Structure 1
């Protein structure tokens, strides 16, 4: 049938779906010569439908005369024309009115729905991310940020907002897509320096981030930053940051997060006392292999060393390394206990965890990451690491051909990987 909704004409298709009805609304836009385009090209007008009137989540469709079951996605994107915004469009199946000759090149003749988020297609979930993997990766790469900026638009003269960010190289974009798919919030941006950033800012979306880390807490001292960040979140949520007292409390919390207050804020508020950072209890330790896989994806290194000795005696060494701020020494020592191998080395400001014994690498480390894989570019470095281990394990002594193969593999690892 046909219905008028406002000033627009819509066709309501009633499809048989397991004995019940499913409604699909499509804008027809037939009077171009009177009202012009109702929809901007490549966008959709939001139509709200009561869910209790649409009980089915699947419908029957015919593709090339073959019955196919397809998921229906409810379109909830708002119409808007501005750069770098979300754009959703339905891929064409129903006929477009013949009066309109110009059709968006975004319309494809397929039974699919695509989402474009800042020019990144994240519709396909590549990796079902484990929540502990996400926490481990965040322990290495995530930032909890409190922004404070001068403004004449608010009574206290300063605006405050929060951001959860993960900034990594473009080659690992797939990891950010999986994280965004896991959380279901946020956006991904490309930067001119060859990196990409996953960013969550709205107070509603930040609550999703906080809920995750409440359930799957960070293990490094970054947990202290999270707790301070969460305290600021509660202040903003209650709108106390709009009062002088609440804003000063925000500044005290911000002073203890990351790099603290900016020179501008220190000058404007010289009497702010930083709130003491929470210290994790000494029993914080690694017990989850998925956490270790995530943290290794962020901070781990798979290294192959080739040492040329006299008399053409070439030695091949494999090493696994993790590095962190020295305040996480206890956590790193718990990795030794968890794996039953490796050693911890202290530097002036950092702590390193190493596995260098070939028996531990081939018997413990490699089986662990085959079962709980690292992700992104580092996964390919790990696979090359495994290739070298197999060559070394299967050939004793190593031949010139073996060594040449290892040199070739090593040249494409880490910084050598294009």
Structure 2
């Protein structure tokens, strides 16, 4: 599964990578003593088999300890929906209907099956919706009845979306009110729905354009970024769109290796203001920290644009240790990505203790890297 597809839940690599990340096989050569790294391509080519694959597969909850047997914070839900949610609206032919067309609304979140636990917690928190398998490796949380969609609308009215997805919700909400009042069963109500659909997601299908050539299209609601509302929103959004990565590269001397950390978030260019807002937000967490102050003063260093994407990347070890890790310790990541964060934190502590400068430490970090992100067992 591609990491840019909706179902992918591991830490995501940067959008502009044209070559898929390959796993690295590492071994120590004695003559002379050095770490040998070989791109393996496929797991069947590995010189040493992974024990977890030979013995048994362990299934576990990917929810953080703070959320087990509890409910998700409402701002976490909004942040996660900003990253992974979809407001879907369909108008399809229906011969049994008086108007020959049927309208339906869905709020959907699709994830890899290994993250079913977080969708179950979402369902238990909101007390509406259903979980459905979607193919062999994915599951989706779906809310579709008007009664239950009222809960979804009420939630996002109280805890508003932050990204451009807020405009989709405003259109979705207008469609919801029309259907709730049963106006969609009239010619005028149906035309109003079709006009609204022209501005959400993929717009009107060819069949709708052909059937309603004179429909008046509705303009997309104006979007304005209004800042980061709550730390739990950051935790939810990062649980969806954030990435925790380790890099191991040979130094210029070609003798030792350099270990680095990267926390990143990659979005469509239209949400550039959100990433700039995150830099500002991290700056406000601890105004006495010279590390965090530096983040605001050098905003361009953290947010970069390329074609249709925008990226936030934090790579300085001090900023990761003093800002990023403490933040997500207090406001936990949920799902499989919480395991990536745990490994990320472990390596940061090793770097702080300078263990990465030893052969044993470097070998241990390499083993951690080989089992992170999309390579992780579940």
Does TM, normalized by the shorter one, top 0.5?
yes
Match of 1:299 among 236, 241, 259: 241
Match of 2:165 among 211, 217, 222: 222
Contact (CA 8 Å) 2:263, 2:315: kept in 1 or not? yes
The two structures, once aligned, show a CA RMSD in angstroms of 1.4
- Report SS of the residue matched to 1:274: coil
Q: Give the distance between the partners of 1:260 and 1:176, measured in 2 at CA.
A: 28
Summarize the Cα distance change of 1:336–1:262 in structure 2 as closer, same or farther, 3 Å threshold: same
Aligned pairs for 1:182-201 (under 5 A) are 182-201=125-144
- Report SS of the residue matched to 2:357: coil
Q: Give the distance between the partners of 1:387 and 1:188, measured in 2 at CA.
A: 34
Q: TM-score, normalised by structure 2?
A: 0.76
Q: Does 1:290 align with 2:232?
A: yes
Q: Give the distance between the partners of 2:321 and 2:229, measured in 1 at CA.
A: 21
Using the TM superposition, give the Cα deviation of residue 313 of structure 1 relative to its aligned residue in structure 2, in angstroms. Answer: 2.0
Gaps of 5+ in 1: 1-123
**CA offsets, 1:148-180, max 9 Å, x none?**
110121221101011100000111111100110
Q: Does 1:143 align with 2:102?
A: no
| Between structures 1 and 2, the one with greater strand share | 1
Using the TM superposition, give the Cα deviation of residue 125 of structure 1 relative to its aligned residue in structure 2, in angstroms. Answer: 6.0
Which of structure 1's runs of 4+ aligned residues deviate more than 4 A? none
Q: Does 1:362 align with 2:305?
A: no
Contact (CA 8 Å) 1:189, 1:196: kept in 2 or not? yes
Using the TM superposition, give the Cα deviation of residue 344 of structure 1 relative to its aligned residue in structure 2, in angstroms. Answer: 0.8
* 318-327 or 308-317, larger mean C-alpha shift: 308-317
Using the TM superposition, give the Cα deviation of residue 397 of structure 1 relative to its aligned residue in structure 2, in angstroms. Answer: 6.5
Q: Give the distance between the partners of 1:353 and 1:395, measured in 2 at CA.
A: 27
Contact (CA 8 Å) 1:225, 1:257: kept in 2 or not? yes
Contact (CA 8 Å) 1:287, 1:338: kept in 2 or not? no
Aligned to 1:353: 312
Contact (CA 8 Å) 1:302, 1:381: kept in 2 or not? yes
Aligned to 1:389: 348
Aligned to 1:254: 197
- Report SS of the residue matched to 1:280: coil
Aligned to 1:330: 273
Indicate the structure whose relative CO is greater, using CA pairs within 8 Å and at least 6 residues apart: 2
Match of 1:167 among 83, 98, 110: 110
**CA offsets, 1:266-286, max 9 Å, x none?**
22112223311112224x111
| Between structures 1 and 2, the one with greater helix share | 2
Q: Give the distance between the partners of 1:273 and 1:255, measured in 2 at CA.
A: 9
Q: Does 1:278 align with 2:224?
A: no
Using the TM superposition, give the Cα deviation of residue 334 of structure 1 relative to its aligned residue in structure 2, in angstroms. Answer: 0.8
Q: Give the distance between the partners of 1:264 and 1:356, measured in 2 at CA.
A: 49
- Report SS of the residue matched to 2:199: coil
Q: Give the distance between the partners of 1:161 and 1:271, measured in 2 at CA.
A: 22
Q: Give the distance between the partners of 1:212 and 1:353, measured in 2 at CA.
A: 28
Q: Give the distance between the partners of 1:287 and 1:180, measured in 2 at CA.
A: 23
Q: Give the distance between the partners of 2:348 and 2:146, measured in 1 at CA.
A: 48
Aligned to 1:318: 261
